[in-house]
Structure 1
């Protein structure tokens, strides 16, 4: 049997021996049990086949492995911040050919991106919910299940991983999918520096610098970036600044300590609000009068620090520890006055503190002479919001209408295993127990505003089981089953029926998921396919009301089923051509009829708003010369409904983008000049919808034809 050896970086290196039955190369510890929390940084070394297919992942198993060997539908997106032919501001720039995930750029930095995985998260009208977000193993999703992707450090990322299917449930509350961003460790043998700038249509401007250096024992990196835009639409300007630091210490060969610090501020993010279909068709750049009257938008500042410790106890046992904390201050101006006593006000002022810790123990052993690995761990995360609401007096802060302290906490314990029961077969499974508690302490109590204080606690046990058949060196087949849950967020329990009071009676949504997948790769080509099915009970559904607030209710029988296909490869003389394609068929619908807040019946079979039945992303690149890259991209979505009644819809569309990049040198400095034209045909289309928007303004138009030019320098 092959023997595992421990490398200084804390990652197991695997010796391989040929299998007698199939000829497949066997990794004794090829798949680590799925740990829900702590992900190790990426290795810098690659095997020969990984140099052509850079697909190392950790999302579906805590130790590093090839995406090809992962026992789940997981995609690894390699990011080169120096040669990427885009500004690397939004996650939507990187997920074009990844099946199963929809990332919609709303052209609205006050509301963040819409991110959905297999239909989970598509109904969110703010931030990201239903999908867990992580950066270098630190959660970017709060304990109540709501997260923000705006703080991702994409301009200094090394890869992005997207985990889909049942195994995502092991990440706890609101894990319809998992998105993890990884940044590189500092160099261990010197100093590197990089600077970048760029500009584009609609007043876009970006600039940044990244510095890193170190040795075998200690290294550090620092990067700072800014992005500004006047916005495609009226009243949609934004400015954001970001500072990130990372320190990696390795006092012994058995211990690695990674410290992180992140600062993000967005002092300007105007909100143009949604448009009706007629308004979007007449002038997609316009903002409704309420946007300027109430100066709708958001100002936010966030600071976070964390540490991850990886320690190898002996040849078999290892520990992984995480500790993090931060603060977030937000002011958001909404598009209504909030003057009525029953309303909580049109300006939200929030001061948040949050943090968490986790510990995982891993053991590598054998059973019946074959590899067995298991992990056990615990975690705790908490947040506390001091929340105030005021009347929006034509953009100015008016009378107090809301004063409360909101708290959310989640606690989890998990155990997971991976057992090679036969050289060609592996069993994987796990169990996670979770508790989530939401609490509201209402300090604004008057005759017209009764005490809305209360607590709601949710418990859940999520089992996951799967099997992997390593049919051949070039072919893997897997199947998984699991259960998960998703609690309401603090924002979703804020308003009861009629838009007043709290809604702490909302239940957590539970889901049963299954998938069957196949992965094949050979001769520079990689193909993946998966069939999936998910059935949700007590789905949390947004329902509009007359007070201008959104309240939520539970409905049963929500189904999400579909097919994912992905392909990526190189071909032609000297591999000059590269291509990728991701296609998703998603049938997401209400399996049972229900009554909404207006007493109207939503029919069984109605499609889930915010989901496209067909989604396609494709990319083709050509390198006629080594330093020159030319490329074309295509993106297409079918019709997307905007409301539960399926009376309003954004039409399907297909758009094309062009891009180019050229690398050259000036002395010892490497330079990279790139440019792109998005929406080449200047097509007018709806980029995203605001699900069940109270005023019927469901539609957020996408940008027309626009360009971006950038220059990066590295030494």
Structure 2
């Protein structure tokens, strides 16, 4: 009897564990996909149900071909037990796109804000060395790169106060704040392979995200492991470009681990513009229960890049590849090492209540030899964000309430030295810097009817910084100086009207604010400008979206009025200083139209599409007085009035693809007086490749491309209001690249 009982238990265990259970999800939205075809190598075929589930009886690992119209076909090897498979869309309808902006996971057609979605497919249209080209295909978004890894981010012209670095834009990476509490963002620490998707919320979003009039960028790279996999990439190009990546993905029960190492080097187009970045990332995703998900991230980044500096017009015409005189001798450069770790948890208490909480720690060692001085910093940062989602009814209408909080702090030891031939000399001044910011946010989403969605949001914001001057070699005062900004309330109200299943329009009124960063208060020559006020803005916006089958349309018109605008000027020593300069009026139009002539075709051409993105920015200064000069009525510095991006995409059934992108940028005023402009330019990029499978376990992609196909003379980031007329930061001439990607599924 005991033997029979033992055999029965063994039989039951074999039945339970002799199954391959699969859940298939959309890679971007994480929503289950129904009617996905799973075909095993021995001919068994099953379809996923409405929850994305499918089950095969098997006692061993098997290889499956996974396919569905509109998605990339996938070949995976899965083991008995629970498995998750992610599919990538070949083309996207706006009616099917789900985004998480404003703590609200809804279809894009139901979102009452201007949101641009950047997908992995957008990254893969270009050379995959930076974010710049892919983000710049979206209307209203402009990432500038004055030299390799030297970024500025402009959303609706928000880079006016950023002569260097990323300011006035809030960035999140995998749900945690990546923008420091002092308002700066080290975006160049991330390699493109550390990002799978990006959502750009354009315009002030302080009701949920706090400081930043420009907008918000949500970047994500969740561990999405369909099966065990080893992969490697290699990229070569002009100007000494060498980039390689090694990746490993491993399923662990219902969770997964993913690790990658990336090295990217280049000599640069200009003299003294080399770059060397190494990034290691370890990601984990675990499900202790059906209600709980835990996600971890570890990022280790080592970045060095040289700063060639701006040229005047004569130097530009003489040789655009030369560096600013003195830059090389003084070793003008950045050397930065960072460790960033985060832990996030999502817990579903019930069908109506959910909490998401994320915490992070970050430490950075930073050195910046410059022509005028030598800066060293050691900083430590920490922070977190939590939000509760409550679903219910109000007056018998569906309602969602979001309640949350975010807090950050940082401590930095900052020292400024003299620079003698690239070596730190006598100390000039030293400070201990502390920055903190925190806010509470609340948001109500109420379905007034099946067609109307009403949103009301509000945040209460608190920020301060402290500068403890410990050394001042010039004999100036030492001691603590602190600036605490008055608490600021930031409201937002919006209404979305769903015209049909595929069409919607919306309107919103939102406020924003942006306090000065420590770098704007504490300048390189040692002065402290504690009188700088926070910028305050008010945004009025209407939008229209349509997405059905082959045609997508996204249109936005807005008026943004900014008070206490922070602008730059340069003193005779070449030091960039900041001031509040009255107000600006910013009127804009953003439009994107995509049309798929062929989608998921069965003939030689599988996909053929065209797309156009238009940005019209009609920004002017209002009541702007700088010393004895009155610039009221002038165009806003650094902002092109017209940007037009067109793309052509072709993918064939044998796996050959072609991506062609053209970008037109109108003239750009480079000083407040509007007396110097960058000429309009046309930038064209081309990529051609082949992607396919080699047998059951291997996949391969080979590609080549040309950047700046028309060999234009242009810049992706000039200097604004510089001393000595050094406006120009020339970008690379025509150049080529090529690469290979190889993956093994085991």
Q: Report the TM-score when normalising by structure 1.
A: 0.88
**Alpha-carbon distance between aligned partners in 2 of 1:71 and 1:86, rounded to the nearest angstrom:** 31
1:616-663 deviation per Cα after TM superposition (whole angstroms, max 9, x unaligned): 111101234440012211011111111112222211111212210101
Offset of residue 548 of structure 1? 2.7
1:70 and 2:111 equivalent?
A: yes
CA 1:399–1:12 in structure 2 vs 1: closer, same or farther (change >3 Å)? Answer: closer
Partner of 1:284: 320
Offset of residue 78 of structure 1? 1.6
Task: Map residues 258-269 of structure 1 onto 2, 5 A cutoff.
Answer: 258-266=295-303, 268-269=304-305
Gaps of 5+ in 2: 1-24, 35-83
1:521 and 2:539 equivalent?
A: no
Offset of residue 664 of structure 1? 3.6
Secondary structure of the equivalent of 1:233?
Answer: coil
**Alpha-carbon distance between aligned partners in 2 of 1:664 and 1:319, rounded to the nearest angstrom:** 41
Q: Which one of 654, 665, 688 corresponds to residue 717 of structure 2?
A: 688
CA 1:108–1:314 in structure 2 vs 1: closer, same or farther (change >3 Å)? Answer: same
CA 1:576–1:379 in structure 2 vs 1: closer, same or farther (change >3 Å)? Answer: closer
CA 1:489–1:44 in structure 2 vs 1: closer, same or farther (change >3 Å)? Answer: farther
Q: Which one of 611, 623, 636 corresponds to residue 639 of structure 2?
A: 611
Gaps of 5+ in 1: 1-6, 17-42, 337-345
2:194–2:281 Cα contact (<8 Å) kept? no
**Alpha-carbon distance between aligned partners in 2 of 1:308 and 1:680, rounded to the nearest angstrom:** 44
CA 1:602–1:330 in structure 2 vs 1: closer, same or farther (change >3 Å)? Answer: farther
1:448 and 2:479 equivalent?
A: no
CA 1:319–1:545 in structure 2 vs 1: closer, same or farther (change >3 Å)? Answer: same
Partner of 2:612: 581
Partner of 2:50: none
**Alpha-carbon distance between aligned partners in 1 of 2:507 and 2:595, rounded to the nearest angstrom:** 25
Offset of residue 501 of structure 1? 2.6
2:147–2:308 Cα contact (<8 Å) kept? no
Offset of residue 696 of structure 1? 2.3
1:351-385 deviation per Cα after TM superposition (whole angstroms, max 9, x unaligned): 01001022211100011222100011112101111
**Alpha-carbon distance between aligned partners in 1 of 2:164 and 2:89, rounded to the nearest angstrom:** 43
Task: Map residues 196-235 of structure 1 onto 2, 5 A cutoff.
Answer: 196-235=233-272
CA 1:521–1:454 in structure 2 vs 1: closer, same or farther (change >3 Å)? Answer: same
**Alpha-carbon distance between aligned partners in 2 of 1:456 and 1:55, rounded to the nearest angstrom:** 46
Offset of residue 51 of structure 1? 6.0
1:359 and 2:386 equivalent?
A: yes
2:681–2:714 Cα contact (<8 Å) kept? yes
1:108–1:272 Cα contact (<8 Å) kept? no
Partner of 1:25: none
Partner of 2:447: 420
Q: Report the TM-score when normalising by structure 2.
A: 0.85
**Alpha-carbon distance between aligned partners in 2 of 1:58 and 1:430, rounded to the nearest angstrom:** 18
**Alpha-carbon distance between aligned partners in 1 of 2:446 and 2:136, rounded to the nearest angstrom:** 35
Offset of residue 170 of structure 1? 2.6
**Alpha-carbon distance between aligned partners in 2 of 1:640 and 1:169, rounded to the nearest angstrom:** 32
1:556 and 2:582 equivalent?
A: yes
1:67–1:76 Cα contact (<8 Å) kept? no
Q: Which one of 500, 515, 520 corresponds to residue 472 of structure 1?
A: 500
Partner of 2:460: 433
Which moves more between the two structures, 386-395 or 666-675? Answer: 666-675
**Alpha-carbon distance between aligned partners in 2 of 1:48 and 1:541, rounded to the nearest angstrom:** 43
Q: Number of matched residues?
A: 663
**Alpha-carbon distance between aligned partners in 1 of 2:668 and 2:556, rounded to the nearest angstrom:** 23
Partner of 1:20: none
**Alpha-carbon distance between aligned partners in 1 of 2:658 and 2:333, rounded to the nearest angstrom:** 38
**Alpha-carbon distance between aligned partners in 2 of 1:150 and 1:13, rounded to the nearest angstrom:** 31
1:453-487 deviation per Cα after TM superposition (whole angstroms, max 9, x unaligned): 31111121100000000011121000000111001
1:198–1:206 Cα contact (<8 Å) kept? yes
Partner of 1:3: none
Partner of 1:296: 332
CA 1:46–1:127 in structure 2 vs 1: closer, same or farther (change >3 Å)? Answer: same
1:170–1:432 Cα contact (<8 Å) kept? yes
Partner of 2:54: none
Offset of residue 68 of structure 1? 2.8
Which moves more between the two structures, 319-328 or 563-572? Answer: 563-572
1:506 and 2:532 equivalent?
A: yes
1:165–1:514 Cα contact (<8 Å) kept? no
**Alpha-carbon distance between aligned partners in 1 of 2:531 and 2:723, rounded to the nearest angstrom:** 22
**Alpha-carbon distance between aligned partners in 2 of 1:600 and 1:236, rounded to the nearest angstrom:** 38
Task: Map residues 176-255 of structure 1 onto 2, 5 A cutoff.
Answer: 176-187=214-225, 190-255=227-292
Task: Map residues 566-645 of structure 1 onto 2, 5 A cutoff.
Answer: 566-572=592-598, 574=601, 576-595=607-626, 599-645=627-673
Secondary structure of the equivalent of 1:492?
Answer: helix
Q: Which one of 529, 534, 538 corresponds to residue 564 of structure 2?
A: 538
Secondary structure of the equivalent of 1:94?
Answer: helix
Q: Which one of 95, 112, 134 corresponds to residue 94 of structure 1?
A: 134
Partner of 1:105: 145
Q: Which one of 376, 379, 387 corresponds to residue 349 of structure 1?
A: 376
1:198-233 deviation per Cα after TM superposition (whole angstroms, max 9, x unaligned): 100000000001111214532111011010000000
Q: Runs ≥4 in structure 1, deviation > 4 angstroms?
A: 11-16, 43-55
Offset of residue 711 of structure 1? 0.3
**Alpha-carbon distance between aligned partners in 2 of 1:253 and 1:54, rounded to the nearest angstrom:** 29
Secondary structure of the equivalent of 1:436?
Answer: strand
Partner of 1:58: 99
Q: Tell me the C-alpha RMSD between the 2 structures.
A: 2.5
Partner of 1:275: 311
Offset of residue 107 of structure 1? 2.5
CA 1:185–1:234 in structure 2 vs 1: closer, same or farther (change >3 Å)? Answer: same
Offset of residue 430 of structure 1? 0.4
1:662–1:673 Cα contact (<8 Å) kept? yes
**Alpha-carbon distance between aligned partners in 2 of 1:52 and 1:626, rounded to the nearest angstrom:** 24
Q: Which one of 120, 124, 148 corresponds to residue 162 of structure 2?
A: 124
Which moves more between the two structures, 688-697 or 437-446? Answer: 688-697
Higher RCO structure (Cα 8 Å, ≥6 apart): 1
**Alpha-carbon distance between aligned partners in 2 of 1:127 and 1:160, rounded to the nearest angstrom:** 19
2:446–2:455 Cα contact (<8 Å) kept? yes
**Alpha-carbon distance between aligned partners in 2 of 1:481 and 1:222, rounded to the nearest angstrom:** 42
Secondary structure of the equivalent of 1:701?
Answer: coil
1:10-45 deviation per Cα after TM superposition (whole angstroms, max 9, x unaligned): x997999xxxxxxxxxxxxxxxxxxxxxxxxxx976
Offset of residue 169 of structure 1? 5.0
1:208-263 deviation per Cα after TM superposition (whole angstroms, max 9, x unaligned): 01111214532111011010000000010111000001111110000001011001
Q: Which one of 330, 341, 346 corresponds to residue 366 of structure 2?
A: 330
Which moves more between the two structures, 461-470 or 114-123? Answer: 114-123
Offset of residue 87 of structure 1? 3.5
**Alpha-carbon distance between aligned partners in 1 of 2:90 and 2:714, rounded to the nearest angstrom:** 41
